[in-house]
Amino acid sequence: MPDPVIALHDVTLSLRGNAGPVEILHGISMEVARGETLGLIGPSGSGKSSLLMVMGGLESATTGRVSVLGQEFTGMDEDRMARFRRDHMGVVFQSFNLIPTMTALENVATPLELAGHKDAFARAEAELERVNLGHRAGHYPSQMSGGEQ
């Protein structure tokens, strides 16, 4: 695969539990190509959200390597990671992180505006259309189902 957009190599994630460390991710290696669509399927508690958090630089892998757009996340400090996410990634959280007084379109466009994109709303509209939510652009989170949020 030529230059993957996302690459994980032998990634583990352990979190501290009451009875000691709990290994959430176990030696994950994968690559995602530009334009590739990826679905994460598994039962509750299987690590899907944790994997997304690691891939998005919102959680640090315990071991292994994570890179996005060729940028290695290992050892990157929080400020640099925040700038990288702002400049190169779009993270849209499910309901609890949506701003309730903003429409779906505004929630998606806000990080693009903060990153200085003059076409933030056009890009946000295109992304909502891409995931079949264009018809919800003017709706507030409370007017959308959990899955739509």
In degrees, to the nearest 5, what angle opens at C-alpha 68 toward C-alphas 96 and 141? Answer: 20
149: in domain: no
Question: To 10 degrees, what angle do helices 104-114 and 120-130 make?
Answer: 130
Whether residue 111 is found in the same domain as residue 39: no
Interatomic CA distance for residues 131 and 137, integer angstroms:
11
Whether residue 44 is found in the same domain as residue 83: yes
Do residues 26 and 52 touch, judged by C-beta distance below 8 A?
no
Average pLDDT, integer, range 8-37: 91
Residues of the domain holding 24:
6-88
Domain end, chosen from 88, 110, 134, is at 88
Number of domains in the chain: 2
Whether residue 46 is found in the same domain as residue 100: no
Domain end, chosen from 48, 65, 88, is at 88
Question: How confident is the model over 31-49, as pLDDT tens digits?
Answer: 999 989 888 888 877 888 8
> What is the structure's pLDDT at 126?
96
DSSP state letters, 111-123: HHHHTT-TTHHHH
Give 69's pLDDT tier (boundaries 50, 70, 90): very high
The residues, ordered by sequence, that sit 6+ positions from 144 with a Cβ below 8 Å of its Cβ are 104, 136
Whether residue 31 is found in the same domain as residue 66: yes
> What is the structure's pLDDT at 81?
93
Whether residue 17 is found in the same domain as residue 67: yes
What percent of the chain lies above the pLDDT cut of 70?
A: 96
Average pLDDT, integer, range 57-71: 95
